[in-house]
Amino acid sequence: MLSEQQIEKYAEVLLWALNTARKDRYKKNDVILVRYDQAALKMAEVLQARILDRGLNPVLRGGLSPAMERNFYERAGGKQLVFQPPGEKELYQALNGAIYLNAPESLTHLAEVDPKKIGKAAVARKPLRDILDKREERGHFGWTLCLFPTPELAKQAGLAPERYAEQVVQACYLDREDPVRDWKEIHARAGAIKTWLNRLKLKRLHVESERTDLIITPGEKRRWVGMTGHNIPSFELFLSPDWRGTTGVYFADQPSFRNGNHVEGVTLHFKNGSVVKAQAEKGEAFLRKQLKVDPGAARVGEFSLTDKRFSRIDRFMASTLYDENYGGLYGNCHLAVGASYSETFDGNPARLSKKIKERLGLNDSAIHWDLVNTEKKRVTACLESGKEVLLYENGAFAN
């Protein structure tokens, strides 16, 4: 669905993103994991060649087919669900970088699977994610991910395959002569907005749209981050707030495909930081079970805003990666239930112990689920001085 020239440009953008996402520079013989779905095989081959040309060691891992994934959850017993292959922990401890190429053949193949089994497997893999989080905090690991267009994605988004591919090309600036140059420019412009945001002494944020009325408390020692290279495309600026200060109602008008399930029209009611009532127009049973995966699953791990001046995405794409970066008429905000990001800590993330995270209200969970609102909205900030400042309106930051 992408031409050879577009794939070549895409690979260069991903390698730029991988370098941008890591604090330390990559050095010869570093280990880079490339995890890919079958539809993205061609791009995996291009990346393998370019990683080798840079003197790095690629480790290639093909993803499970929909049938394999469904077999696992339907047939695996208790111990099989939590089984980790020998050497997996050692691999994660040795990784210096990772690129994930998502190209799903199905988005709904796990609809009949018990969400508790999916949650149990996710909790079992959390220690592996914790290894990478710690390596990233120390500057030893960086990662990025992207989406490769597939007929299934186009079908679920209600677009013709060629139109879906055009959105990917447009969103990633692959229609430009030198897309890496464009990404560097966006990175610099987003950096100026982050500087402005981080100079504000925020006490709380008030998010208002037609069906959202929510208070977010940024918390102590927080900073806005984004455009770090972690996702391509990525236009969002976000922070991980103090989950304990979340109150009010949040509505996600964008549908969400998660773990093979389709959820739509999610409304979350927060009190004292936790979801006390969860509703969905579609997939409500799955939503409620996900919020019970662990104690942190019903708390906020991230709050994000996307500026429509950067994003060229103007269609629903049936992919969180794209939908959380939607530009359109009014940009978007998204709220993630589950794990916080330590990179939003205004200090050295490597010094964040579990006890310090708890004190700061940084949430811990095996899940991280982004729920997107694209309604016309206004976000105001109450500063520590008591002054109110307009932060975001009609899809753009106010600076």
SS3 for 247-300 is EEEEEECCCEEECCEEEEEEEEEEECCEEEEEEEEECHHHHHHHCCCCHHHHEE
Contact status, residue 264 vs residue 256, Cβ threshold 8 Å: yes
pLDDT of residue 146: 97
Distance CA 381, CA 162 (A): 42
Beta bridge partner(s), residue 263: 256
Distance CA 185, CA 158 (A): 32
pLDDT of residue 392: 98
Residue 345 per-residue DSSP state: B
Percentage of residues in the chain having pLDDT higher than 70: 100
- Number of other CB atoms surrounding residue 249 within 10 Å: 14
Three-class SS state of 378: strand
pLDDT of residue 297: 97
Tell whether domain 4-179 is in CATH 3.40.1830.10: yes
The answer, yes or no, to whether residue 350 has pLDDT greater than 90, is: no
pLDDT confidence tier of residue 273, bands split at 50, 70 and 90: very high
The answer, yes or no, to whether residue 23 has pLDDT greater than 90, is: no
Residues 50-105 have pLDDT tens digits of 999 999 999 999 999 999 999 999 999 999 999 999 999 999 999 999 999 999 99
Distance CA 189, CA 55 (A): 32
| All residues at 6 or more sequence positions from 130 whose CB lies less than 8 Å from its CB, including other chains | none
Alpha helices in 84-158 (DSSP H): 88-94, 115-137, 151-157
Distance CA 2, CA 52 (A): 23
The answer, yes or no, to whether residue 357 has pLDDT greater than 90, is: yes
Q: Which of 305, 154, 283, 286 is nearest to 239 (CA)?
A: 305
pLDDT confidence tier of residue 259, bands split at 50, 70 and 90: confident
- Number of other CB atoms surrounding residue 42 within 10 Å: 15
pLDDT of residue 137: 87
- Number of other CB atoms surrounding residue 394 within 10 Å: 12
Residue spans per domain, the chain: 4-179, 181-397
Distance CA 12, CA 205 (A): 37
Residue 69 per-residue DSSP state: H
Q: Is the peptide bond before 241 cis (omega within 30 degrees of 0)?
A: no
Three-class SS state of 346: coil
The answer, yes or no, to whether residue 190 has pLDDT greater than 90, is: yes
The answer, yes or no, to whether residue 20 has pLDDT greater than 90, is: yes
Q: Which of 270, 295, 224, 228 is nearest to 371 (CA)?
A: 270
For the chain, give the mean pLDDT.
96
Residues 284-297 have pLDDT tens digits of 999 999 999 999 99
Helix count and strand count (H, E) for the chain: 12, 18
Strand intervals (E) in the chain: 31-36, 57-62, 97-102, 142-147, 202-208, 213-216, 225-226, 236-239, 247-252, 256-258, 261-271, 274-282, 300-306, 332-338, 368-373, 378-383, 388-393, 396-397
Distance CA 38, CA 103 (A): 7
Distance CA 188, CA 192 (A): 7
Contact status, residue 287 vs residue 258, Cβ threshold 8 Å: no
